[in-house]
Amino acid sequence: MQQWMNLLSQHAVGQVLINEPLAKYTTWRIGGPADVLVIPSNQDELSTLMTILHEHDIQWTQLGRGSNLLVADKGIRGVVIKLGEGFDYARFEEDRIIAGGAHSVVKLCVLAAKKGLSGLEFAGGIPGSVGGAVYMNAGAHGSDTSKILQSARIVLHDGQIVTYSLEDMQYAYRHSILQEQPGIVVEASFQMKTGNRDTIMAEMNKHKDRRRITQPLQQPSAGSVFRNPPGDHSARLIESAGLKGYRIGGAEISTQHANFIVNVGQSTAADVLELISYVQQEVSKQFGVQLQPEVYLMGEK
């Protein structure tokens, strides 16, 4: 690690933190320390950082706004990268939105609605960053990021800066090319449609209200834990299996929404992983369906 620190200290790569606990950066409030957490403040710092990591074969992981993510109890080895405030912006060019990778999706939805721009209503209650939404093709209510993305600027694993078109992203359900060819989304351009401000706000608020009623938003969670299997819903299967309220350690299947696991008090990543495995076993045994996790596990078990 000392060698990494010497390398990083010789270049402008942003804020560098050693053995930084990651639980405070995740919506589950779970996770051990990062060997090194680096917070670049601009594209040049990020590109320099990625070039160094690539040239010296140093393992790296990106951390967004901490949703849809489980960080292991032993933390994450190597370098963890979190985009800084310089990537948290949004600007509007007629019916187009250009947003930084660290910008909040929820905040962007509200800004778009206020300007009478339609296309982001589906994401009104989705936690996370613009970069994360672009990376995983985030979606809800019959729509997703692929429906509005125009292009994305990405810093690739070797420090190269590229702009990918919608076609380049190779989108599928919760999937993009970046899951095979690693890179970090620093900016995205979204093509919107002009519409009635009140209608757009009403549609977005309807989705937000539904989430408020049906999801345990007041408790630490990571959003939906399992992908929906074809033609069905994971929440229905889990509830039908009688698993609502089932608890292992500090991790509990939400009594409000069966596809959420909530941290009800000092939960560990091990608790969550054991509960995920138990749900998979029970649903498979009772219904013959293999549930696949939607959350990403990062770090050393």
pLDDT tens profile 23-74 = 999 999 999 999 999 999 999 999 999 999 999 999 999 998 888 899 999 9
Cα 158 → chain centroid: 22
Higher per-residue pLDDT: 9 or 248: 248
Average pLDDT, the chain: 92
CA distance 275 to 292: 13
What per-residue confidence (pLDDT) applies to 121? 86
Q: Which residues are catalytic?
A: 174, 224, 294
CA distance 38 to 46: 9
If 0-12 CB within 10 Å is exposed, 13-18 middle and 19+ buried, where does residue 299 land?
buried
What per-residue confidence (pLDDT) applies to 124? 75
Residue 146 has pLDDT above 70, yes or no: yes
What per-residue confidence (pLDDT) applies to 2? 64
The residue-averaged pLDDT of 241-266 equals 96
Q: Which two tokens stand for residue 55?
A: 């040239």
pLDDT by residue (tens digit) across 154-164? 999 999 999 99
CA 240, 249, 34, 53 torsion-angle sign: negative
CA distance 264 to 251: 6
Residue 259 has pLDDT above 70, yes or no: yes
Which segment of 103-117, 134-148, 284-298 scores lowest on mean pLDDT? 134-148
Question: What is the Cβ-side half-sphere exposure of residue 190, based on CA atoms within 13 angstroms?
Answer: 29
Q: Which of 101, 129, 118 is nearest to 202 (CA)?
A: 118
